[in-house]
Structure 1
Amino acid sequence: MDNAYPCPACGARALLDSGCTGCGRPPHPAAAEVIRLDREIVVLDGEVTRARQAYEGLAGRLAAIRRRRNELAATVRAEFPVAAGPVPTRPVAAGPVPTRPVAAGPVPTRPVAAGPVPTRPVAAGPVPTRPVAAGPVPTRPVAAGPFAAPVGGWRPGPALPASRPGGAETSSRAVQWLLFVLGGLLLGTAATVFTAVAWSSVGITGRALILLAFTALLLAVPLVARWRGLRGTAETFAAVGLLLVLLDGYAVWAVDLFGVTGWPGSRYAALVAVISVAVAVGYARLSRLTVPWFAALIGAQPVLPLLAAEARPEPAGWAVVFVAVALLDLAVFVLLRRRPEHVAGEGAATTPGVLLGGQVVAGLGYAGALLLAGGCALVPLLVGRAGGIPLLAGGPMLLVALTAFATALLLGDGTVRALTAGVLVPVLAGALLRPVAELRSSVLLVVAALVVAALAGAVRLLPAGWRPGPRIGALLVAGGTATLTTVVAVVLAGAAVGRSVPPWRGPRRDRPTPGAGSCRWRWP
């Protein structure tokens, strides 16, 4: 082993055994280690470069093979579609994975050019160097085996995909769904225009046949498309087919097919909506598709309002109807929220995305119906009577507030529960005081004070965790009552003062008042 190194003091040749041959200094192990590490760095750099090139070549081949395999597999699946189910697999014999052995022995290296080895100058001056003999630098052998350790401490990372200029700006699946949606919209528009415009030019028999043929065709296509694995096509045609069911109802009304024009329009519309919902639910169970469930949920929204429209209810009645619609949407929301994901035999209707979409639609329907109910309930509260009865003036608004509070108890967290409970207290106070203001306004302030005291006592009886929201509501009621009392007192006092102006004056001795001859009292 060559343990020679240049002396860091004088630059002469030194050995680890005997020291410097020029100045006689003892051996310097650190200087010798620097020279040895310089040589090893050169060797390891070459090994790392070759290993990196070999790895990148193999990673590129692997990526190309996988890409080719996926393309061929996609072609085979498109040519021979199979039904969903477990795919049979071939058992693989247990044992080590065969690998290509690596021949043992030193790794060939390139020769190092002869020349001085650059060193860093020290305090005593630059260190002279000695020439290095030309020839291959000895290296250590690499252990053979299927799991040989990486050379030089370098561990390969994942191969980076080759950048492809002019790549796609979006995925093929997104483009596919966009085309499906546009196609469905165009087809639905065409069906609507045909029903509204060209319908009158066809006879009664032709109309019936067209209705049956188109409806049956558009509802049968999704079943075939789903069997063929074309789920996007199936969903699109299912949406158009269910839209055609509604158009069938309009067409039947337009031609008075069964004398339906003699019915009230709202009742017939409600019947069409109920039939559409029933068809959508049954078709969803049959086809295992997603769109029919959404169609059923959306189609069920106007059923109760249409049934109630024939009775021409007052705003209080409409408030009750919209509260019923909100409760229906709330039931659907809770059912979807508690429904397990990926139920066997339900298809894509129980995937997380579909369940979330259903919750969003049901939540929007609930919020809209409750807002409409609140707007309708505000009318009898302002007018002072509901259904002609003053005692029920605050009933609809109290029903809306109770619905919101029940929803918060069922689904909300502590903050939402406290907020709805805080709103419920003023609504309850308004429902109690509005009939008094309508029937016995003279005792309104007394009754208001009693209501405030009763609400404060009721809040004290609640558990500690339930008090924050109702306490704030009770404080608002107390503050509003106190403000109202102050305003009424100021107004009444101002009216009394106004009636006493100008001040009254009696007759004086020097100015007798006409017609006061019988008066015997005078100012002093």
Structure 2
Amino acid sequence: MTHPPSPAEELRFLDHELRQLDARRTHLLARRAQLLALLQPVLPAVPRAASPAAPPAARRPETTAPRVQNVLLVLGGALLAVAAIAFTLVSWGHLGIAGRSLVLGAVTLAALGAPVALRRHGLGSTAEAVAGVGLALTVLDAYALHEVAMARTDGTGYTAVAAAVLAGLWSGYGKALGSLRVSRPAALAAAQLPLPLGAVASGAGPYAIAAALLLTAACDSVVALRTPLRSLRLPASVGAYGLGGWGVLAAGVFSLTATGPGDATRASALLLLAAAIALGVARWAPGRDLATGTAVAGGVLLVAALGGVPRVLLPGVWAVPVHLACGIALAAVVRGRLPEPVRRGFALASAGVQGAAVLWALPPVVLALLGPLGWTVRSWSGAPSDLRDALTLGAPWPPYASTAPLVLVLVAAVLVAVARTVPARRSQATTGATTLGWAALLILPATLRLPYAVGLFVLGATVAGGLVVAACARRTPMSMTAFLLSLLTAADLALLSLASRTATLAVLAALTVLFAVAAAHRRPAPGRASASLATATG
């Protein structure tokens, strides 16, 4: 009788059999590899099946069927409009008044009524094209009415009234047909004409025409901001920017060419209207960038409007300081309760006005720095009567430079205020204020036409003040800026002193003492010591 093995014995048996199978498999695989190596040179190469050629790429159609359909519809509508114009302008002589009225009226009514049936059958594009032809026919109807019944009426005034009537009719036609898209942009385009043409027809003058352009731009801005239709928002924006730009350009020209307070006041009123439109857009604009940009434009227009009348009443040299004062006042408005994009736009506009004023005041500063170089070839030829002659050496002094120091001081004061109120910008603002104050002191003696010796003394005091600021400044950028400005002033002063031998010796001695004292200050300053040594040996 055979007894079944125990599980342990059966497991050992299975492991033994598996090891034998693995050894047998390894032996068979090795033998197979040997046989393949022997037979490989003898076996003929099996040709590979040629891979099927890749199918040619399908050619993309140049255009789609709906696009071709729309193009053909537009071309057909344009040809119909041209035919109607030719019929209206050329063939009037073959029909009487009644016949002409009946033909145009019947064709217009048919063209305006056909889109209703076409839309019911799902032909939306065809309905749009036919509606466009119908709108063009209404323009011809208005022209025919003028030629037949109102030939003695002024053409410009009639066009203004007809444009207003057509704009209303086209808008109502679009609302009546619901989703018809062509009528509302056409109505908006017609609405651009009534106010400007009405101003021209009334003979109100260029100021009224500019006001009409700005008012039309204001209406376009309202439409662009309020309408949810994209097909209407784009033409409204184009009209607002286009007519508004022409109105602002005209107002700016009027302000620049104004010769009296009356003309300047009217031009300023136009600029204020343009600024109000821009600020209204900035208040209600959906995008932050758009609101900020229009606020910048509004701020600049406010500055131009407020400075227009004083510019006419005061001498010409005060034009820039007056506008600069308006720009600084605009910066003060930033602290008011205004939307953030408007406040940011006002700040940028004020900064732009101040930057332009500084650029206006730079030529005298450049002349004050580079003019004394001429003394290197005319040393000890005799001291001039005043410092302006010493700086220019016969070159023309800018005629407007009498107010340049004031401009630089005002902008420097603004930067000082920024340094106190904006801690993040304190270092940059302090450096800028120091530089502008130094520039004002540099050109002040020449602006006032101080005597030569007094002017040299003022420049020497500027060097001393710069060294004191450099020694007492707590911040390294401020100290370095003051020291570099002192070096520039010292070089300018040394060149100016070359006019006479006495001035040269006195100035070089004074500069040596100043830089030696600065070098002996408790703070190490190798640059000051080097400057003192260079001055003493110069």
Residue 454, structure 1, aligned to residue 361, structure 2: no
Deviation string, structure 1 residues 109-139 (Cα, Å, up to 9, x no partner): xxxxxxxxxx9966x983779xxxxxxxxxx
1:314–1:387 CA contact under 8 A, matched in 2 = no
Q: Deviation of residue 192 (structure 1)?
A: 0.9
Paired AA for residue 254 in structure 2: P
Residue equivalent to 2:478: none
Residues 209, 29 of structure 1: CA spacing in aligned structure 2 closer, same or farther, 3 A cutoff? farther
Secondary structure in structure 2 of the residue aligned to 1:261:
coil
Residues 270-293 of structure 1 show CA distances to partners (whole Å, capped at 9, x for unaligned) of 222223223322322333322222
Find the residue that maps to 1:393 and give its secondary structure: helix
CA RMSD of aligned residues (A): 3.9
Query: Which position in structure 2 is the counterpart of 1:334?
Result: 225
User: Which whole-Å CA distance do the structure 2 matches of 1:234 and 1:269 have between them?
Assistant: 28
CA distance in structure 2 between the partners assigned to 1:470 and 1:167 by the alignment: 53
Query: Is it true that 1:475 corresponds to 2:361 in the alignment?
Result: no
* Structure 2 Cα separation of the partners of residues 221 and 295 of structure 1: 18
The residue number in structure 1 matching 2:166 is: 276
Distance 1:30 1:306, change over 3 A: farther
Q: Where does residue 152 of structure 2 map in the other structure?
A: 262
Q: Deviations over 1:273-330 (max 9, x none)?
A: 2232233223223333222222222222212212222122333322221121112222
Other-structure match for 2:198: 307
1:360 aligns with 2:253: no
**Structure 1 residue corresponding to 2:106, chosen from 198, 201, 213:** 213
What percentage of aligned pairs have identical amino acids? 29
Aligned mates of 1:459, 1:321 — CA distance in 2 = 31
278 and 434 in structure 1: CA distance in 2 versus 1, 3 angstrom threshold: closer
Partner of 2:80: 187
- Higher mean C-alpha deviation, range 221-230 or range 360-369: 221-230
Whole-Å Cα distance in 2 between the matches of residues 361 and 321 of structure 1? 18
- The residue that corresponds to 1:396 in the other structure is 270
Q: What is residue 299 of structure 2 aligned with on the other side?
A: 425
Q: Matches of residues 161-240 of structure 1 in structure 2 within 5 Å?
A: 169-240=62-133
Q: 1:301 to 1:457 in 2, by over 3 A?
A: closer
Gap regions ≥5 residues in structure 1? 1-14, 33-118, 130-161, 338-354, 498-524
Counterpart of 2:88, as a letter, is T
Check conservation: 1:222, 1:238, Cα contact below 8 A.
Answer: yes
Question: Relative to structure 1, is the Cα distance of residues 247 and 29 closer, same or farther in structure 2, using a 3 angstrom cutoff?
Answer: farther
Distance 2:14 2:85 in 1: 99
Native 8 Å contact 2:112 2:134 kept in 1: yes
**Which of 433, 440, 444 does residue 318 from structure 2 map onto?**
444
With over 3 angstroms needed to count, the CA separation of the structure-2 counterparts of 1:262 and 1:236, relative to structure 1, is same
CA distance in 2, matches of 1:448, 1:292: 46
Gaps of 5+ in 2: 1-12, 37-54, 365-397, 404-444, 450-538
Could you say which residue in structure 1 is the equivalent of 2:207? 316
Structure 1 residue 458: Cα displacement: 3.1
Alpha-carbon distance in 1 for matches of 2:24, 2:113: 86
Q: Where does residue 383 of structure 1 map in the other structure?
A: 257
**Structure 2 length normalisation: TM-score?**
0.55
What amino acid is aligned across from residue 172 of structure 2 in structure 1?
Answer: G
Question: Number of aligned pairs?
Answer: 340
Task: State how far apart, in whole Å, the 1-side matches of 2:288 and 2:120 are.
Answer: 48
> What are the Cα deviations for residues 37-77 of structure 1, in whole angstroms up to 9, with x where unaligned?
xxxxxxxxxxxxxxxxxxxxxxxxxxxxxxxxxxxxxxxxx
Range with bigger deviation, 448-457 or 428-437? 448-457
Shift of 1:392: 3.3
Note the C-alpha offset of 1:457. Answer: 3.3
1:454 is matched by which residue type in structure 2?
A
Q: Give me the TM-score of the superposition, normalised by structure 1.
A: 0.56
CA–CA separation in structure 2 for the residues paired with 1:384 and 1:164: 70
Counterpart of 1:204, as a letter, is I
Aligned in 2, Cα 1:201/1:394: closer, same or farther, shift over 3 Å? same
Q: Assess, with a 3 A threshold, how the Cα gap between structure 1 residues 227 and 211 changes in structure 2: closer, same or farther.
A: same
188-197 vs 218-227, greater mean Cα deviation = 218-227
Distance 1:189 1:173 in 2: 24
Question: Deviations along 1:150-194, whole A, 9 cap, x unmatched?
Answer: xxxxxxxxxxxx999778543332222222111111111111111
